[in-house]
Structure 1
């Protein structure tokens, strides 16, 4: 009987400790986005969303080679990978600079490496960059790091065999927003000054933008309800460093309202079942009104970042469209 009492006491203590932990986390979450960020990042890591299937990843390995974890800055997160065709001539290669997704709080350049290898095999230097994540780092640091990475590529162009007068900015999900905002600043010096990040390259060097499943209007995303609302408000708090979504930086990060006719030719894609697709369609429509050449692709019945699941016919179609788009905008 005494043994049962001892076991019962231990179980009670354990339950009290678990309850205390839950209460502590709930209280913590009122003052910091970190508890929710940890949960979201765990979900990202467990999900196959945004990842190339094993078959096509294996094919990519056969056709390309890379130099990985090259430091473009002094920060731990400031590294990049450069993927190129296994067989290449002596001419410098056009450059695709890809900003990975992950809600500004997760993700890694390794996630997109198989996809970049497939692009590289077609005759490009496909560069995946890492950048600092929220809530440890806030907007607009990733934009500064994108610029820093491109400057590093320019300085090392001869060694790497790059043609940095033919750059395509690309990204998926949050990375698409970062890439699109960087390109928008290139064509609008006043906007760049407002953000506090003045790009170091000429607008003429960026010949195209390739954007998948991006949130181009955070103002609208923050109005979502339910689980989507919780997700958006968590990553928004982590990225901006504030729970005040009337903060002027929310409008500032809304790329659609800062587009100009200087934006380069763009391929923009999303899936019909993705809650961000409405923003993609408005983004594409705005570019079209400005006279910018836009190639949109809206996949039927598919969700966020369907583009990487190359076992799907529509994802393969987007990859084929990407090959054609890249060949066109990077033509000498």
Structure 2
């Protein structure tokens, strides 16, 4: 009889391996009841894989030349990559241009400016200054750290507008997913004084700086997320726990402040907003936000799709430029930016 046959069943490699997996999963499950870290890091890993694949798709459509680039520009002291930005603009003399400042998504717990750089390069190639921002994600930093960092970045951009090629009267805040939530919140800070006073953060932008907002697949009302079904609902609850620092985050000041749909006013800037037909956030987030803004008299360009749109357009569809709908959404975004100045 071979060595394998002589071993007791509990010493066989396959049994030991499966037992190890079960123990690890058990520990993670127990720990997940007291901390968001294990689940948040698991979600981050999945998001990073998807982001890498999406960047590869976008790169095929991004320009390979004709742009002036400045990478990893620090906007705050300390030397951390979390507080840097990338800048893209047409080659030639530096001159003031309408500037699109893009905030990456990642459910507040993942992502990097490099995830959106190809898209920002495409926008810049049409005559704009494009800037992609980094910020510290959760759980490493909790609310309102990232919001303050992004506000500081906007202050730096305004202070150095001449050398960066930024027209300070034509700033466009843009973002995808959680980045769209940040963009909307920063726009509310610039246009709703009572909201800003409650928040306790002095906004770098005023409504005179802010020309428009571009919102892709965002979150503007977190009140329904505690009851959201399925793995998506679990993921958002975990992310917001990590970001806001408490499991009962929906009753915190931060959770209330994130629900920007309650705080937009008629002074909110003209807006381009979209979501895919297969994105669960579209019906509960993007469409209500578009309707609220239109009801206030804000100029809104909305790009939504019928329920039977084929292929189904998932969350962050706009970056999948191999899809005709994504290319059409990009063209619509560029046409919208053309109306800004």
* TM-score grouping bracket, smaller chain normalisation: over 0.9
Q: Is the 8 A contact 1:213 1:280 kept in 2?
A: yes
TM-score by length of 2: 0.90
Q: Per-residue deviation at 1:321?
A: 1.1
| 2:169 partner SS | strand
Equivalent in the alignment of 1:255: 260
Provide closer, same or farther for how the CA distance between residues 14 and 306 of structure 1 changes in structure 2, counting only shifts above 3 A.
closer
- What is the CA–CA distance in structure 2 between the aligned matches of 1:201 and 1:154, rounded to whole Å? 8
Q: 1:94 aligns with which of 95, 98, 103?
A: 98
Deviations 1:248-270 (Å, cap 9, x if unpaired)? 43222101010101101000011
Equivalent in the alignment of 1:85: 90
Deviations 1:63-108 (Å, cap 9, x if unpaired)? 423111111113521010001113x455312211110000000011
Which has the larger displacement, 44-53 or 126-135? Answer: 44-53
Q: 2:338 aligns with which of 324, 327, 330?
A: 327
Structure 2: unaligned runs, 5 residues or longer: none
Provide closer, same or farther for how the CA distance between residues 49 and 274 of structure 1 changes in structure 2, counting only shifts above 3 A.
farther
- 1:159 equivalent in alignment to 2:170: no
Which has the larger displacement, 308-317 or 178-187? Answer: 308-317
Q: Per-residue deviation at 1:17?
A: 3.8
Equivalent in the alignment of 1:282: 288
Provide closer, same or farther for how the CA distance between residues 157 and 228 of structure 1 changes in structure 2, counting only shifts above 3 A.
same
Structure 1: unaligned runs, 5 residues or longer: none
- What is the CA–CA distance in structure 1 between the aligned matches of 2:158 and 2:257, rounded to whole Å? 28
Q: Is the 8 A contact 1:65 1:84 kept in 2?
A: yes
Equivalent in the alignment of 1:18: 21
Which has the larger displacement, 146-155 or 110-119? Answer: 146-155
- What is the CA–CA distance in structure 2 between the aligned matches of 1:317 and 1:239, rounded to whole Å? 33
Q: 1:178 aligns with which of 167, 179, 182?
A: 182
Provide closer, same or farther for how the CA distance between residues 110 and 55 of structure 1 changes in structure 2, counting only shifts above 3 A.
closer
Q: Per-residue deviation at 1:234?
A: 0.6
Equivalent in the alignment of 2:239: 235
- What is the CA–CA distance in structure 2 between the aligned matches of 1:18 and 1:59, rounded to whole Å? 42
| 1:302 partner SS | coil
| 1:232 partner SS | helix
| 2:251 partner SS | coil
Q: 1:120 aligns with which of 120, 124, 129?
A: 124
TM-score by length of 1: 0.93
Provide closer, same or farther for how the CA distance between residues 148 and 90 of structure 1 changes in structure 2, counting only shifts above 3 A.
closer
Structure 1 residue runs of 4 or more that deviate by more than 6 Å after TM superposition? none
Q: Is the 8 A contact 2:57 2:321 kept in 1?
A: no
Q: Per-residue deviation at 1:6?
A: 5.1
- What is the CA–CA distance in structure 2 between the aligned matches of 1:135 and 1:246, rounded to whole Å? 19
Q: Per-residue deviation at 1:172?
A: 0.3
Q: Is the 8 A contact 1:99 1:130 kept in 2?
A: yes
Which has the larger displacement, 199-208 or 100-109? Answer: 199-208
